[in-house]
Amino acid sequence: MIGEIGVSPTFTEAEHNSLRAASLAQINNPHVAMNIHMPGWLRRGDEVLDIVLGEMGVSPNKVSLAHSDPSGKDVAYQRKMLDKGVWLEFDMIGLDITFPKEGIAPGVQETADAVAHLIELDTPISLFSATMSSLNKCGLKMAVMAGDLFQMFFWPIWRSAASIKRSSKNSVSIIPDDY
């Protein structure tokens, strides 16, 4: 995994160049995915992907946008990112912290509801309870990852939220720790 490549709320020129360098590393190592730290409360995905996918030519299925939890209620934004072929990573599950000048990490229920809603919209997803390296091993679009927190907190809440909304045409995969 290349990353976590930092993108701040101000998205500086140095960060643009860091994305370019990481993209070159990925292109020279096509079997390795890249993970990009996103300022979750802002919508910088288009700017980031213009560089990584457009300018540099990285394959979208090798790109993961971290910290997608705060944008969970912005379905149009998340669908737009998914339609570009990249991964959305919901990785803030159980974080009880505030990000200065950004916001408070969403609660488990809020993230569970966001993921359930994307499933309702027939978004293919993978639910991971494993490590970041698992991103390389699956061709689906979205990951929910948090290790033990996944099994203890997120999974039961998500199942409850999703059970009302789930339909037979949804594509959901559960990827175990040893995948």
DSSP result, 91-144: --TT---EETTTEEPPPHHHHHHHHHHHHHTT--EEEE-S-GGGGGG---SEEE
What separation in angstroms does the CA of 137 have from each of 33, 55, 88, 127?
A: 10, 25, 15, 13
Q: What is the mean pLDDT of each run of 10 residues along the chain (179 residues)?
A: 92 97 97 93 96 97 92 92 89 80 86 80 58 38 50 58 46 42
Asked if 90 and 141 count as a contact pair (C-beta separation under 8 A), the reply is no
Q: Which pLDDT score, from 0 to 100, does residue 165 have?
A: 43
The pLDDT value given to residue 161: 57
Structure-token pair, residue 135 = 């991103």
Residue ranges of domains in the chain, CATH in brackets: 2-166 (3.20.20.140)
Nearest residue to 84 (alpha-carbon basis) of 119, 56, 45, 55: 45
Residue 136 has a pLDDT of: 38
Q: Which pLDDT score is estimated for 96?
A: 79
Please state the pTM of the whole predicted model: 0.75
State how far the Cα of 139 lies from the Cα of 71, in Å rounded to an integer: 22
DSSP annotation of 40 reads T
The pLDDT value recorded for residue 26 is 97
For 61-105, the DSSP string reads GGEEE---GGGTT-HHHHHHHHHTT-EEEE--TT---EETTTEEP
pLDDT of residue 102: 86
Strands 63-65 and 2-6: unpaired
CA 46 to chain centre: 14
State the pLDDT at residue 150.
53
At 107 the pLDDT is: 85
